[in-house]
Structure 1
Amino acid sequence: MYQFLVKNTVQHPRVLQLFDTLSPTSKGVTLALISTALFTIVGVFVRKLSADYDTFQVLFFRQLIFMLMLAPAIVKNLDILLKPNKIPLHILRIFGAFTALYFGFITVSNIPFADATAVSFLQVLFVAIIARIALGEQVTGSRIFTIVVGFIGVMMVVRPTFENSQLIFILSGVLASLGAAVAVICVRKVAQSEPKITLMAYQALAIGFIALIPTLFLWRTPTVEDFMLLLMVGVISSIAQYIGISAYKWAQANIIANVEYVKIIYSLIIGMVIFAEVPDTWSIIGASVILASALSPMMWSHYSRKK
């Protein structure tokens, strides 16, 4: 099932032909835009589910479905999976991913979506700092400019309230952003020598096992409707993760992380289509600023190739 979905969505011949015409940076940014859109949709489902189910149970279902989708690829690549490289980085990545998923789910379920989205963008800043220290990636003046401009655009859109009663959930969002940044850097480092199936299988299995024990104590049998939502969370996030990991093979971590800012634009679109929420003038201006910030690395890369 997993291979069928990937083959018919990500690896369609016409899509690949168009994709091959892009520069490496443009390929990375394009994949990151798609991955971010899918994860934004997952966030909407998680918010709805968290009203009735514990975070551990939602997370466990996500990982269980992920593992089922990966099962054929795991069996086919068992020899590779039993001989991993850079084991410490795999462990660190799993720890970062679990932190990001668990505390991210808690944050998005307990404070306004706009505030949760704003806090999540701290990941961009964390990635830039860690990438410079751990990977030696160059953070140029133009990179710093796009990060700052993108963050300003986000604040223009969401104008978060951050009430005192929400402090604990804001802190959980900061922790989630730091965990996500650690996972991103590990993916960037490991993806150069490990196949994507190794990255995905280890995370799916480890995080699913971590979430299993508390889920057994907090279990609540889902309704048919909620089961379908849980299924969608697993399927969509699996595809999003595959595409997201692929993005880091083509571009620097701090460039890909900057695309996270576009998540707020996706959120505005979802708000209009699903919740009939019409953005105000500040939101429209802010969204334009964010879009310019996220796409600027792609435009600079295209301009450099022409020169």
Structure 2
Amino acid sequence: MLENILFGQGFHIPSNKHKGIALALVSTALFVVVGALVRVLSERIHVFEILLFRQLVFLVILSPAIFTHWQSLIRPQYLAWHSARIVGAFVALSLSFLVVANIPLADATALGFTQVIFVALISRLLLGEQVNWQRVVVIAVGFVGVLLVIQPSFASSSLNYIVLGLLSALGAAIAVICVKKLTGKDSTTNILAYQAVFVGVLAAIGAWFNWLTPSLYELMLLLAVGILSSIAQWFGVTAYKYGEANVVSNIEYVKMIYAICLGYFCFGEVPNQLAVLGAGILMLSPLLPRQLSRFIRKPS
């Protein structure tokens, strides 16, 4: 097991809570590294080709489970939800690769956090879920943080990529909602396998028209994107097995630190003071509801 490698001899984790936090920290770091690799590859390789390799590696890793559950896979159910998840995942992945290839790493990461806004809206409109005031506070403050990081300008040439980043976040939100709807109705293997296969098919169509045979170096980076993405996803899911959901989910905001550091050291991207302030607001926003609750309950 991968967590046994991470937490092997000589590395002691005092509790499951800390193990969940550690796994989440590694997962978020790996996702940012994948973004940096996509940035390097996109200088010559089209994003559809990068996505195709990512899906192929994921399929290879998933193949034992697919072989075991092939009978249920050839008799699909809940086609509407699976189809919406596939489209949402394809939009999210392909556009996120395009965005990370063309704007600063921290900006692309910040745009990804707008997913929580779309999840809240879609959950409220389609699933009838209530959004409590604590969640509204986190979303509103987090959105302010996003705006400070990306500092959108209608005169900026990056505006198109900001819009694409928002569409990517919308696609990711649709995929999340569909997974939430399918969980408990269909198996995890089916959910993952359909996404892996059909997002790969859509990426293959795009890659066919934009194919460029990768060099050995680029091939190694393409495989790294697939492997690291799969490991990051697995670590992220496993983190919830050990840690509380509200604690683990808040670790996601540490991505901003990784993105700023990696953008600076690898691509020479230097954030201004407003961007640093926005990153700080983003990371602190999940803590605000608890502090406000204490303030409200505090006797006068």
TM over 0.5: yes
Q: Is the 8 A contact 1:124 1:181 kept in 2?
A: yes
SS at match of 1:57: helix
1:6 shift after superposition: 6.8
Q: Is the 8 A contact 2:137 2:289 kept in 1?
A: no
Q: Hey, what does 1:266 align to over in structure 2?
A: 258
1:106-132 superposed Cα distances (whole Å, 9 cap, x missing partner): 222223334433433321211111122
Unaligned 5+ runs, structure 1: 301-307
Distance 1:18 1:295, change over 3 A: farther
Match of residue 69, structure 1, among 49, 61, 65: 61
1:107-126 equivalences under 5 Å are 107-126=99-118
Alpha-carbon distance between aligned partners in 2 of 1:214 and 1:142, rounded to the nearest angstrom: 42
Distance 1:222 1:212, change over 3 A: same
1:277 shift after superposition: 5.7
Q: Hey, what does 1:18 align to over in structure 2?
A: 15
Q: Which has the larger radius of gyration?
A: 2
Distance 1:226 1:207, change over 3 A: same
Query: Percent sequence identity over matched residues?
Result: 44
Match of residue 80, structure 2, among 73, 88, 95: 88
Q: Hey, what does 2:197 align to over in structure 1?
A: 205
Unaligned 5+ runs, structure 2: 293-300
Distance 1:294 1:110, change over 3 A: same
Match of residue 181, structure 1, among 164, 169, 173: 173
Q: Is the 8 A contact 2:36 2:105 kept in 1?
A: no
Q: Hey, what does 1:232 align to over in structure 2?
A: 224
Distance 1:127 1:234, change over 3 A: same
User: What residue identity is the alignment partner of 2:84?
Assistant: L
SS at match of 2:101: helix
Alpha-carbon distance between aligned partners in 2 of 1:296 and 1:230, rounded to the nearest angstrom: 40
Distance 1:292 1:284, change over 3 A: same
Alpha-carbon distance between aligned partners in 2 of 1:196 and 1:9, rounded to the nearest angstrom: 24
1:183-223 superposed Cα distances (whole Å, 9 cap, x missing partner): 01111222233333222211110011112133233221212
User: What TM-score, normalized to structure 1?
Assistant: 0.77
1:263-285 superposed Cα distances (whole Å, 9 cap, x missing partner): 32221232355456666654554
1:78 shift after superposition: 2.2
CA RMSD of aligned residues (A): 3.6
Alpha-carbon distance between aligned partners in 2 of 1:59 and 1:73, rounded to the nearest angstrom: 22
User: What TM-score, normalized to structure 2?
Assistant: 0.79
1:152-171 equivalences under 5 Å are 152-161=144-153, 163-171=155-163
User: What residue identity is the alignment partner of 2:15?
Assistant: L
SS at match of 2:184: coil
1:299 shift after superposition: 9.4
SS at match of 1:117: helix
Distance 1:199 1:248, change over 3 A: farther
Distance 1:178 1:30, change over 3 A: farther
Corresponding residue pairs, total: 289
Query: Which deviates more from structure 2 when the two are superposed, residues 65-74 or residues 159-168?
Result: 159-168
SS at match of 1:209: helix
Q: Hey, what does 1:145 align to over in structure 2?
A: 137
